[in-house]
Amino acid sequence: MLTRRHILTSAAAALALPFAPRRLWAASSLTLGAIQIDTLSDGNLVLPGDFILGGMPQEEMAQIVAAHGLPTDQLTPPCNVTLMRDGTNTVLFDVGAGPDFQPSAGKLAEALDAAGLTTDDITHVVFTHGHPDHLWGLLDDFDDLVFPNAEYLIGQAEFNYWTDPNTVSTIGEARTTFAIGAERRLSAIADAVRFVSDGEEILPGIAARATPGHTPGHMAFELRAGSESAMVVGDALGNHHVAFERPGWASGSDQDKDLAATTRVALLDQISTAQMRLIGFHLPGGGIGYAQKSGDGYRFIAE
């Protein structure tokens, strides 16, 4: 069974390897009208392959993953935090892992510095969901808020799930630490958080889109300026290989595997049909690109 100890042990071992992936601070960017969007690296995760690939048809899965030049025993997905600036608001979508999850992640402060920003400059923090690599960067080593001037926005279903005292005993042993860490961090902003709902324009040019399954209240966010748009998908599309080529397959990383697969299929259909850019937290090349229909599935085309 996968535990946080296994994840951390894998990460420490990977850091010693000469081919561990190099971080890119500002990996990609795009402009939508007056909106500037940049992806900033929080580093990368180091995961046992089964955490994502377990339970899939193994022979076909291995062929797909190998075609992308990746192994199946260990995966090192990048962590792309989306930064949006419109001249008034400076918005982060998720905050990375912080200092307590994996040594290969938690690098967002360095990325902000490279972009000429400090944590004080962030006006809004918008959460896609409450997993450690997206949420744990909320607090520093002293449990102080890293972004003291920000307003915090999250879907109410997601907030309620992670702050429910029953979650820690029902989420499963492998994710118990996820629940404990999320509750501690979300409780720190409980009096300052703003809840957002599906379809709501949460800030000018930003609309919330319910994309449940990876977590119960996972949300994506559509950024729009005139006729141009891009979707911040969080972990609704968690990788650039099997999630695109076989979106209907269940993934071990999703809490509700069937619902997450249904969400992936619908999201990819929407994004590809509209020829909309997408921004993925764990997608390569900074995470900005397109979903292109390919046979029975899709391909991620990095921009």
What SS3 class is residue 169?
helix
Contact 235, 282 (CB under 8 A): yes
Side chain identity at residue 94, one-letter code: D
Print pLDDT tens along the chain (303 aa): 333 333 333 343 333 333 334 444 556 899 999 999 999 999 999 999 999 999 999 999 999 999 999 999 999 999 999 999 999 999 999 999 999 999 999 999 999 998 999 999 999 999 999 999 999 999 999 999 999 999 999 999 999 999 999 999 999 999 999 999 999 999 999 999 999 999 999 999 999 999 999 999 999 999 999 999 999 999 999 999 999 999 999 999 999 999 999 999 999 999 999 999 999 999 999 999 999 999 999 999 998
Beta strands in the chain (DSSP E): 26-32, 35-44, 47-48, 74-75, 78-85, 90-93, 124-126, 151-155, 193-196, 201-203, 206-210, 219-225, 228-234, 277-280, 288-294, 297-302
Side chain identity at residue 57, one-letter code: P
Instruction: Of 130, 128, 65, give the one whose Cα is nearest residue 280.
Output: 128
- Six token digits for residue 23: 């971080």
The angle, 0 to 180 degrees and rounded to 10, between the axes of the packed helices 156-163 and 176-188 is 120
Pairing relationship of beta strands 124-126 and 90-93 according to DSSP bridges? parallel
**What is the dihedral angle through the alpha carbons of 259, 126, 185, 105, rounded to the nearest 10 degrees?**
80
Contact 91, 204 (CB under 8 A): no
pTM of the model: 0.91
Name the residue with tokens 């919330």. 208
Task: Specify the CATH number for the domain of residue 132.
Answer: 3.60.15.10
Q: Total domain count for the chain?
A: 1
Apex 302 CA angle, 20 and 261, nearest 5 = 85
pLDDT of residue 20: 38
- Six token digits for residue 33: 């009208």
**Buried b / exposed e across 77-100, counting CB within 10 Å, b at 16+?**
bbbbbbbbbbeebbbbbbbbbbee
Strand partners, 290: 301
Q: What is the spatial distance between Cα 44 and Cα 31, in angstroms, rounded to a whole number? A: 25
**Strand order across the 297-302 sheet:** 201-203, 206-210, 219-225, 228-234, 277-280, 288-294, 297-302
Residue 267: phi and psi, rounded to 5, are -65, -45
- Six token digits for residue 196: 């957002």
- Six token digits for residue 259: 């619902």
Structural domain including 219 reads 4-14+22-302
Q: What is the spatial distance between Cα 86 and Cα 68, in angstroms, rounded to a whole number? A: 35
Contact 153, 202 (CB under 8 A): yes
Q: What is the spatial distance between Cα 159 and Cα 186, in angstroms, rounded to a whole number? A: 7
